[in-house]
């Protein structure tokens, strides 16, 4: 669809997370909402629409006046990095009453506004849908009261509605993630990391208490009997609690959707003792608000604290973390999510007709899609109903595949003990290529999942060189404790491929009796896996199942939309760009040229451009010439005439052999003389380091566990005549995320989709996002593809199948 001028008038009303009643709006907010506001405003203006802000949510809609103001392109500048919402939100009881909605309708009609974009939770969106449903009735009442004319009513004969979900709880069924959830996880993990680290070194605990909806109770003591009990209240859904448990390797998690079995107190104590016996110095327990047992009796933090203290003698302390989760700088993911949803929301309004039902913009894998609003709201409510009726399995299923996968992975790693009878299977793990955040999480998960299956797990140090040199040793449960939150590669890693060491590698595979191999790394891991598969013809020892887990900041491994480590690198770049842009706030008239990592893959440059509000991002996949550079310079010169007197240009490290970062700096400096000056920054290896983000921790954890389960099944298939022999293409795979699923694809089948010279896949999904970057930077004549559609399976299954509380 080519965006062109349109007479449509757009309107932004922002309200936030809601309570269960249809029209009661709670004044809560989530990081990333400003990105959605910015995108909606700019794309609306880009299409020729007149866009309005409504300040203070529905209350501003009812009160009208100065609360409803026109938005401009410049009015949404420098807001990507701001948490909360710059246009405000407020609890509005007036909108619950019909007289309040009459006033709101009158204000819209007088301004000629017929399109409403609402950012909030299910209550806010339900209220918007009711407003739309009774629109004709409201107009008729206003005519009778003489507040509007028949002509005005005719011009505003119907109201189009589109919603975006802004909520840190990620409790809205129909979308993989809601705006604000990832940022909230960042805040939680930062605090949990800090307090659990403190518990290892301080003789007494640090105690904070801030009372609010999302809270963290922490109890820590340095002694060998230390225990951390964390209560995360998420009203009453449990995504944050569950994902936090995965990200920090918690020993136990209480969530209302899946209460513990009867006699849980004894099981919990046994679990904590077992962890101590394996060498753990610290126990972590996560609790969600609304935690309950199978009889729906509440389980409180104090109850668990007292149980652990009295029965096991572990000293505990508590800390409640409050609004920290809702505030702070939005993560890169939330900025991109908000931007994509804002664009899709405008497209939905442009295409809406009076017959079009109200829709909500959702995230399905890596696609922004539209779903019927009230169907999603109904399934969201059905989760609460299922819990109230004790149908806990149904509640988990209704939450969707992502929640199910998180829960199943957590259960396996935390609630299943290694068997006493071993399998006599040896699985080796090796890290290959450059280090990245999240590698250790994948290793930890794979090791523990393997031990749970009864296998012996072997650690190979220093990549394929270590495999050739025999740097191989068993690795235990306790050895990988605490690895989830550590950056880099604890096993050590090198870029060297098997190559000339193939023979020695085959000998060591036989010597150490390795039955299968997990290769964690970037493009080198993929190439190394291919070399091992090719060498099977000559070396029978290499006929073992293998799996490659993509882990690289470049996100350039064929067969996967995402790689472990890319999210951490993206956040590092985004936060650095924020600081760099801020430095120009005082000096003004300055353009920054920033070089990112990624080799020939432009993923980091493109996504960082979206999350930081860049004016351009140069990448190899989208060739650029001197004419393009000239247009960019002219664009910045024009920009300096506005109130936004700064520029940000990103360049991928191998974007062009001739148009180097230094060349761009020289060009912009020369052409901008008298208008702006330039600065150049090469970010370098800082992009590979740092503490893993919650996404990379959880992604690595799920990938590691899934790879071991797949290898276990594959080993059974390949066991012939008393030995393991795997020589089929599907015995050596890449485990990758494609849209919404983790799937295994044979290494050899991915060769056709690989540009080996430039070390990138031939098909890269994120290239479709580049037009959004250009539109938001105010370039003209940009085409955007909105042809892809997808359906959420748990929403589809729900329709017509859940009746009377039964599936």
Structure tokens at 146: 């003489």
3-state secondary structure of 381: helix
Check residue 693 and report its DSSP letter. Answer: P
Residues 6+ apart with CB under 8 A from 190: none
End-to-end CA distance of the chain: 40
Hey, how many other C-beta atoms are within 10 angstroms of the C-beta on 355?
Answer: 6
**HSE (CB half, 13 Å, CA atoms) of 720?**
8
Q: How far is CA 427 from CA 221, 447, 477, in A?
A: 36, 9, 14
Pairing mode, strands 367-372 and 359-364: antiparallel
**Helix (H, G, I), strand (E, B), or coil: what is residue 628?**
helix
**Backbone conformation region of residue 411, classed left if phi is above 0, alpha if psi is from -120 to 50, else beta:** alpha
DSSP helix/strand/coil, 154? helix
DSSP state of 308: I
SS (H, E, C) 363-379: EECCEEEEEEHHHHHHH
> Residue 510 and residue 499: Cα distance in Å, rounded?
18
Q: CA 408, CA 415: separation in Å to the nearest integer?
A: 10
Q: Which residues pair with 733 in a beta bridge?
A: 547, 746
Q: Where are the beta strands (DSSP E) in 628-668?
A: 646-652
Rounded to 5 degrees, φ, ψ at 263 are 65, 35
Residue 404: burial class (beta carbons within 10 Å; 0-12, 13-18, 19+): middle
- Here the tokens at position 781 are 């004549």
Per-residue exposure over 176-215, b if at least 16 CB sit within 10 Å of its own CB, e if not: bbbbbbbbbbbbbbebbeebbebbeeeeebeeeeeeebbb
> Are 249 and 484 contacting, i.e. CB atoms less than 8 angstroms apart?
yes
**Distance (Å) of CA 305 to CA 223, 246, 269, 302:** 16, 21, 11, 5
Contact 420, 453 (CB under 8 A): no
Q: Which residues are catalytic?
A: 169
Taking the CA atoms of the chain, what radius of gyration do you get in angstroms?
Answer: 27
d(CA 663, CA 761): 28
**Do strands 754-755 and 760-761 pair parallel, antiparallel, or not at all (unpaired)?**
antiparallel
Q: Which one, of 682, 706, 433, 681, lies nearest residue 553 by Cα?
A: 433
Coil, strand or helix: which one is 464? helix
CA 607 and chain centroid, separation = 13
Q: Which helix (H) or strand (E) holds 659?
A: none
């Amino acid at each position: 669809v080519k965006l062109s001028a349109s007479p449509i008038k757009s309107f932004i009303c922002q309200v936030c997370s809601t309570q269960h009643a249809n029209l009661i709006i709670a004044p809560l907010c989530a990081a990333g909402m400003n990105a959605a506001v910015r995108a909606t405003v700019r794309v609306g203006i880009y299409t020729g629409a007149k866009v309005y802000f409504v300040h203070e949510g529905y209350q501003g809609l009812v009160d009208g006046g100065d609360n409803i103001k026109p938005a401009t392109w410049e009015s949404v500048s420098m807001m990507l990095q701001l948490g909360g919402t710059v246009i405000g939100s407020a609890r509005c009881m007036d909108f619950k009453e019909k007289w309040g909605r009459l006033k709101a309708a009158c204000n819209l009609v007088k301004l000629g506004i017929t399109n409403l974009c609402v950012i909030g939770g299910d209550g806010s969106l339900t209220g918007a849908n009711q407003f739309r449903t009774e629109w004709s009735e409201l107009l008729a009442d206003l005519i009778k009261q003489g507040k509007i004319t028949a002509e005005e009513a005719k011009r505003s004969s119907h109201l189009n509605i589109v919603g975006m979900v802004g909520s840190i709880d990620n409790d809205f069924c129909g979308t993989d993630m809601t705006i604000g959830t990832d940022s909230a996880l960042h805040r939680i993990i930062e605090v949990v990391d800090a307090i659990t680290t403190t518990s290892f070194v301080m003789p007494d605990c640090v105690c904070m208490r801030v009372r609010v909806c999302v809270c963290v109770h922490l109890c820590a003591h340095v002694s060998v009997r230390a225990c951390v009990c964390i209560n995360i209240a998420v009203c009453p859904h449990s995504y944050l609690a569950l994902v936090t448990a995965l990200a920090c390797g918690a020993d136990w998690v209480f969530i209302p959707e899946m209460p513990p079995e009867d006699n849980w107190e004894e099981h919990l104590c046994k679990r904590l003792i077992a962890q101590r016996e394996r060498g753990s110095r610290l126990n972590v327990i996560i609790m969600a608000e609304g935690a309950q047992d199978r009889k729906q009796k509440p389980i409180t933090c104090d109850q668990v604290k007292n149980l652990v203290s009295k029965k096991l003698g572990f000293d505990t302390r508590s800390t409640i973390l409050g609004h920290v989760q809702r505030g702070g700088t939005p993560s890169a993911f939330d900025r991109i999510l908000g931007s994509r949803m804002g664009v899709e929301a405008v497209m939905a309004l442009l295409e809406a007709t009076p017959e079009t039902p109200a829709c909500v913009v959702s995230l399905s894998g890596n696609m922004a899609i539209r779903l019927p609003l009230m169907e999603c709201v109904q399934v969201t409510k059905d989760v609460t109903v299922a819990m109230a009726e004790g149908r806990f399995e149904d509640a988990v299923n209704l939450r969707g595949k992502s929640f199910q996968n998180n829960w199943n992975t957590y259960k396996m790693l935390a609630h299943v003990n290694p068997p006493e009878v071993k399998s006599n299977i040896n699985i080796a793990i090796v890290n290959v290529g450059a280090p990245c955040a999240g590698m250790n999480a994948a290793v930890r998960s794979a090791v523990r999942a393997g031990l749970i299956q009864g296998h012996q797990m072997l650690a190979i140090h220093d990549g394929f060189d270590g495999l050739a040199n025999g740097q191989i040793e068993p690795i235990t449960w306790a050895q990988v404790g605490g690895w989830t939150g550590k950056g880099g590669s604890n096993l050590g890693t090198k870029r060297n491929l098997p190559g000339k060491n193939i023979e020695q590698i085959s000998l060591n595979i036989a010597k150490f009796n390795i039955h299968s191999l997990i290769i964690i790394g970037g493009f080198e891991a993929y190439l190394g896996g291919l070399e091992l598969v090719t060498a099977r013809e000559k070396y029978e020892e290499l006929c073992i199942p293998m799996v490659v887990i993509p882990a690289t900041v470049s996100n350039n491994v064929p067969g996967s939309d995402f790689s472990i480590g890319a999210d951490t690198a993206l956040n590092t770049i985004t936060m650095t760009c924020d600081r760099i842009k801020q430095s120009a706030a005082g000096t003004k008239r300055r353009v920054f040229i920033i070089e990112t990592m990624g080799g020939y893959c432009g993923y980091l440059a493109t996504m960082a451009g979206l999350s930081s509000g860049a004016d351009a991002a140069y990448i190899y996949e989208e060739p650029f010439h001197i004419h393009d550079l000239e247009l960019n310079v002219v664009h910045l010169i024009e920009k300096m005439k506005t109130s936004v007197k700064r520029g940000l240009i990103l360049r991928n490290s191998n974007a062009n052999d001739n148009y180097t970062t230094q060349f761009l700096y020289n060009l912009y400096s020369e052409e901008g003389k008298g208008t702006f000056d330039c600065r150049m920054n090469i970010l370098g290896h800082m992009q590979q380091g740092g503490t893993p983000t919650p996404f990379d921790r959880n992604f690595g954890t799920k990938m590691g566990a899934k790879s071991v389960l797949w290898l276990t099944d594959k080993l059974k298939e390949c066991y012939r005549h008393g030995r393991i022999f795997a020589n089929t293409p599907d015995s050596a795979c890449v485990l990758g995320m494609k849209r919404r699923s983790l799937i295994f694809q044979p290494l050899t089948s991915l060769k056709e989709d690989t540009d080996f010279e430039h070390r990138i896949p031939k098909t890269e999904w994120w290239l479709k996002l580049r037009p959004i970057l250009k539109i938001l930077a105010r370039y003209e004549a940009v085409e955007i593809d909105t042809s892809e559609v997808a359906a959420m399976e748990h929403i589809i299954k729900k329709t017509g199948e859940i009746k009377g509380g039964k599936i």
